[in-house]
């Protein structure tokens, strides 16, 4: 029996990784599910850990892996590479379910190859709330925050226009958003 792939996307700062990390221990009591640790060429931030948040590699290493066909999808955002290893296809085939936290570009690439994946979009009530969350992180420059806000504005308009994702979760109150995400994941895990 195959596993299920969940794709979770959101504008930077909307809380996608926090929601997933909060929910996984609860889900793992009943399901074979884990977050797929993706690769990036960006520097590790304070509080992050190698192999937990990302697999951190140099830009040159990343480009080498692209040429080798290591990634099922990859993109360049905020001057850094991000990508998902092709091993996720084997993981799903062997019955393991995975949660993949990636941007819209990556989500579309994955769904082009794995149409039975479940795409979930997380968003905040306003761009101003998103900006406040990015500011409160304390590790992005003001220029970087504005680049992320510009991209978030584009992503939100894109999703409003095209409705690419199967599910949409408002992350206004964290506990409510976590409960909604749990309900969706459990429903989908039970349906196959």
The model's pTM is: 0.92
Distance CA 35, CA 5 (A): 10
How far is CA 69 from each of CA 57, 65, 131, 159, rounded to the nearest angstrom? 16, 6, 36, 29
Strands 80-85 and 97-101, by their bridges, are unpaired
Q: What is the dihedral of CA 138, 142, 143, 147, to 10 degrees?
A: 70
Residue that wins the pLDDT comparison between 138 and 187: 187
Assigned CATH class of 5-190: alpha beta
pLDDT in tens, 8-44: 999 989 999 999 999 999 999 999 999 999 999 999 9
pLDDT of residue 192: 66
Strands (E), 86-150: 97-101, 118-123
pLDDT in tens, 129-139: 999 999 998 77
């Amino acid at each position: 029996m195959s596993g299920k792939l969940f794709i979770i996307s959101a504008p930077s700062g909307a809380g996608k990784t926090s929601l997933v990390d909060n929910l996984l221990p609860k889900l793992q009591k009943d399901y074979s599910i884990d977050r797929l640790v993706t690769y990036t060429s960006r520097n590790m931030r304070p509080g992050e850990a190698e192999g937990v948040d990302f697999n951190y590699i140099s830009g040159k290493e990343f480009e080498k892996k692209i040429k080798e066909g290591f990634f099922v999808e990859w993109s360049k955002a905020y001057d850094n590479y991000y990508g998902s290893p092709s091993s996720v296809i084997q993981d799903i085939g062997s019955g393991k379910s995975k949660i993949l936290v990636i941007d819209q570009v990556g989500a579309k690439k994955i769904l082009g190859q794995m149409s039975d994946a479940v795409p979930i979009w997380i968003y905040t009530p306003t761009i101003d709330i998103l900006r406040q969350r990015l500011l409160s992180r304390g590790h992005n420059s003001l220029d970087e925050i504005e680049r992320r806000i510009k991209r978030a504005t584009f992503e939100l308009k894109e999703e409003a226009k095209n409705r690419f994702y199967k599910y949409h979760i408002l992350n206004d109150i964290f506990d409510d958003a976590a409960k909604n995400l749990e309900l969706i994941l459990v429903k989908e895990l039970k349906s196959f």
